[in-house]
Every structure is written in C-alpha cells, then in structure tokens.
Chain A
C-alpha cells in the first residue's frame, strides 16, 4: 500500500475498508462555532468531512476557512472547490493555502450555475472545468510545479477527488466521463445521491467491466429523505436527480410524522444493498441541515465503529 498523502480517507480506502464521509455546509455568517457543532455531530462515525463550497451558489463562509476549523479540531476535512468562482491563479493559491494547513483532501467540482443562488446577476469564471482542476491538483502534487511551470516550494500533498452523477444525461457518457476523470487523475469519486439503485448498479457494473473501479475509489452518495415533499422537490426541481416514484410512494404512504423515519429506513436499506456491490468503496452521506441523523445512518448500515488507521 503506497500512500500519496497523509489523508486518513486515503489510508482507510487503500487498507480496503469501506470509507464513510459526510459533509458540512459552512454558515451564512461569521460564526465558526456552527462548523464546530456540525462537525462534532458527525465526527465519530465518519473518516472525513466534506465542506461545501457555496453550494447551490448561495454565498456562505468560504470552504477553506471552515476546513481549517475542522482540521484544527483534529479531523480530516475534504475541501470542496468549484471552478465557478475562481480562476487558475486563485485555485492554485487556495490549494497551497489548504495544504499549508494540512488539509489533505479535495473534491473538484464545476459548481451549480450561479442563477440558482443569491447572486444570479454575478459573473462566473470557469477558467478551468472540474476535470482540468483535478489535473491541476495532480500536476501540482506529483510534478511539484505550478501550471505556469515554476517550481512549488513544498508541493501540496492532496488526495484528489471528483464527483460523478450516474443519473445525469446522457447515460451513455457517464462511464466514459468517469474514465476521463480517472485519466485526469481523480483518486476517489463521490457520487450524486442514489435513489434509483438499479440505475446506479448498472453504471457501476459498466465501470467494473472497464476495470475503472480498480483505478478509483467510488463512494456512493446517499441522502435521507425527510418527507415526501422533499422527495418530490428533488425529483422535479433538482437537475440531474433521479428519484423513482416508488420512493415517493413509500414516503407518502406514511403519515407526515412518520415520513422522516421511513426516509432513514430507505437510506439504510440503500447502503446495506450497495455495501455488497462490487466497486463500491464506501459511502458519502449527505444530510445537509440534518447532520444529527448521520450517526444513526452509519450505525444502521453496519459501518460503525470506524476503523482505526
């Protein structure tokens, strides 16, 4: 087992354990204790904590600052970075800053379009795309060079991840696109929330056939539904989200006060089923503004206690 970084997530994955990650959204303000509270809710049942980068284009405290806070708590943060808001100078600079604080993981994303957020009239950058950001981090780490060719004094030792959405269209390119991300240098993948388990299994099956799952660690994304209303909203309003009607039916068949419980059940069932699927290297549990539920999900899926590495 040869480790490229000091990342705990990398250690867990390379040791062959199913990894568990979760995430925290930074506050819409300056209070870092909110980050601490959220991290404390999940820290014992995850290996690393993603920190979202102005998710859905709503302005928040920067991911890097919140990551530093989590790092100072002795935990392993995953810095999410979108290409929407920064050019290549700013991204390389933030990567150095993150590595300087011992942040060992990054997730490279393009980010939701700014029209979804609170600055719809703003400019977007997209100097690089997410795949090129993956390449950039790997280049900085492995070659020890800036994009401009200069040497980096102390290259950033960062474990590099990317996202994959098996449910976006067209389906036929979703495996080739995964192959591209791997070729670009992605070492782990966190997927979009999985509700259509069959479709996910088909996707990862095709990835297995191409030998891709031997080259990358795929963390299956899950999010518990709080209510039938949330499920309908995600189905109809969130681009690239696939929520089968059975899920909505299972939730709406329950009285309102029982729907969250049903959502948790569905989520745990999904994880239990996917644990057995070849190519699944772990889970990314996204429960934004419902972080307190993460331990129950992880325990329910039989993924607790977390291994020591």
Chain B
C-alpha cells in the first residue's frame, strides 16, 4: 500500500489559516490502514484545528468527510454538489488522491494534509516500512524476493557494499542491510550460486527517469 504520515499541525495551520470554510477529506484506503488519513484521523485533525482557531478567536467552519477512495472518479463524484462551497479542501489522501481531487474540482483549492512517503507494509501496529519504489521492472526473482532498489540505501544491484555491518546498513544501526537479507534468503533457498551472476545495468527508463508513466490495458478499456 501507499504509506503516508500526517503533516505537522503547524504546517497544516499555515496552509488553511485564511479559509472561512474548510472540508477535511479523508480516504478509506491506504491512508486509513497506515492511520494517517482515514475517518479517525479526519476527526482528530478537525478537532485540533477547531480548538486552535477558537483559541485564536478566528471563525472557521470545518467539516469532515471520508470517501471510499480519492483515486477514483466514481467516489470523488460524491462531493460534486458541495465541493465549491468550501474555500479549500484539505485532503488526507496520498499525493494521488490530492491531485485527483484537484483535477476534478478545478475552482476549489485542494491542499495536502499528509506527506506521502513510500510503498510499504505494516510491520506491526504503528510501524510501516518501505518495500518497493515502483521501478517498473521488478528484479525480485534474482534477489531472493528482497528489493535492493527500495531497501538498499544505494540501490546497489550487486551488493552488499563495503559498509554493511552486522546485518545493518552503513546509514544507520536501525536500518537492515538489504543485501544481508538477500544473502541470508539466497542461502536459505540454496541459491547462493546465483549470487555470483552479475546483475546487468538496469534499464531505469521504466522508473522515474523515464518521465511520467502509464499503464494501459486495452482489453478492458471501453
């Protein structure tokens, strides 16, 4: 899923402070799972902002709404009637949701309420970690199912580098060395002979480097 984390409240206050009427718009998908932008977080942020502006003696009407998804025309249509009654919509969806909302409601200011961080998984309650950078050409088959692109700080394709220490990455004792994990897994799978095959130069044109990407599946297009 896409993992996000709430923006600092000061930053949010600064972006919404000139509004008279604000909609905080949550999303029921990834940001709900990572507890950054679901119905619950919409409620918490709304209360915090109401309290702050009340203290400042500032009149601002804050309403709450959470859609099934903000990256889908169908669900975004649900706010068609009300969108332009607000000075701004503060979207707690990922960057995709924020943009899709903005594209749909051209005349309303749409602001991000979270920082979109990465593609990751829930390691344990309250802890999410990165697993993929959507490079567009997956190499997991040759790396024991562990991604060197997203999980190695230097995205070394023939690792580990010389900084790997006791299973940890050179950047921090808190970060696992992806290549230690890869070697452990290849060993467990009895595939260490594959380790000695040199990974070729990667084609990064399917990655960010190639410019904005698109996936088209013609057989389902109408």
Contact = CB atoms under 8 A, between A and B. Distances in A.
B198 interface: yes
A238 to B, nearest CB: 9
Interface stretch (A129-137, A243-251, A258-266, A277-285): A129-137
A112 B170 contact: yes
B206 interface: no
B171 A115 contact: yes
A145 interface: no
Contact of A168 (B164, B199, B200): B164
A110 B156 contact: yes
Contacts of A164: 162
A126 B163 CA distance: 15
A183 B155 contact: no
Interface string B148-192: 000001111111111111110011000001001001100100001
Interface residues of B, number: 30
B201 A88 contact: yes
Interface stretch (A64-72, A153-161, A172-180, A297-305): A172-180
Contact of A176 (B155, B164, B195): B195
B160 A168 contact: yes
A147 interface: yes
Contact of B183 (A127, A132, A173, A192): A173
B158 A129 contact: yes
A163 B162 contact: yes
A126 B195 CA distance: 20
B156 A180 contact: no
A169 interface: yes
A183 B180 contact: no
Most chain B Cβ neighbours within 10 Å, of A176, A177, A183: A177
Interface string A120-151: 00001011111110011000000000010000
Contact of A169 (B156, B166, B200): B166
Nearest to B192: A176
Interface in B122-141: none
A192 B163 CA distance: 10
Given A169-B164, A169-B180, A183 B154 contact: no
B204 A169 contact: no
A255 interface: no
B196 A131 contact: no
B196 A168 contact: no
A169 B167 contact: yes
A184 interface: yes
B186 to A, nearest CB: 9
A113 B164 CA distance: 12
A128 B196 CA distance: 17
A129 B156 contact: yes
A200 B60 CA distance: 69
A169 B199 CA distance: 20
A165 interface: yes
A93 to B, nearest CB: 16
Contacts of B157: 129, 132
Interface centre among B161, B177, B180 (most CB of A within 10 A): B161
Nearest to B184: A170
Given A113-B171, A135-B198, A168 B161 contact: yes
A110 B154 contact: yes
Given A147-B201, A168-B163, A131 B158 contact: yes
Given A131-B158, A168-B163, 6 more contacts: A110-B162, A127-B204, A130-B156, A132-B157, A135-B201, A165-B162
7 A-B pairs closest in CB distance:
A165-B162, A239-B170, A239-B163, A131-B158, A129-B156, A240-B162, A168-B162
14 contacts: A110-B161, A124-B154, A129-B154, A129-B157, A129-B159, A164-B162, A168-B164, A169-B180, A170-B160, A172-B187, A173-B160, A180-B196, A192-B162, A239-B164
